[in-house]
Amino acid sequence: MLASGRDGEDAGLRLIETWQAKRCAACGVTRPLDADHNHDTGYLRGLLCHSCNMREAYAWADNPLFGRYRLRPPAVILGVLIRWSPPGLALPSMEEIAAHVANLDPLAALE
């Protein structure tokens, strides 16, 4: 499901919320969740507890938990594409995102 437009994005966010069952996508704890998004692409990855959301931004390359999360976040697993950046901010096209992902080394995040 590729969310398009506000209604599609709302449905995509509800799908992620339901799938995660109020649990952090990284550590699994049940507490209030923050929306985690990719600052390069502007798209939502998943929902993280505040602690993981703060640590993930700086420790993903050194922490296998966050490395795995970045490789397959809930939005990717569920096939949901949700714009999370502020309106008016130019986001890359799907082709640019695909090219970026194709150049990633999936094992680098797990070393």
pLDDT digits (tens, 9 = 90+) for 19-75: 999 999 999 999 899 999 988 788 899 999 999 999 887 877 678 888 889 889 999
Residues sharing a CB contact under 8 Å with residue 58, sequence separation 6 or more, in sequence order: none
Identify the residue with better confidence: 52 or 105.
Answer: 52
Instruction: Please tell me the distance from the alpha carbon of residue 111 to that of residue 108, in angstroms, as a whole number.
Output: 5
pLDDT of residue 31: 87
The total of structural domains in the chain comes to 1
Domain coverage including residue 44: 5-110
* Mean pLDDT within 89-97: 65
Give, in order, the Cα–Cα distances in Å from 12 to each of 1, 6, 19, 20.
Answer: 8, 10, 11, 12
Q: What is the pTM of this model?
A: 0.69
pLDDT of residue 95: 73
Structure tokens at 22: 């109020």
**What are the backbone angles phi and psi of residue 95, rounded to the nearest 5°?**
-65, -40
What region does 97 belong to: left with phi over 0, alpha with psi -120 to 50, or beta?
A: alpha
| Of residues 19, 27, 5, the one with CA closest to residue 76 | 19
Identify the residue with better confidence: 10 or 69.
Answer: 69
pLDDT of residue 82: 86
Please say if the pLDDT value at position 6 is more than 70: no
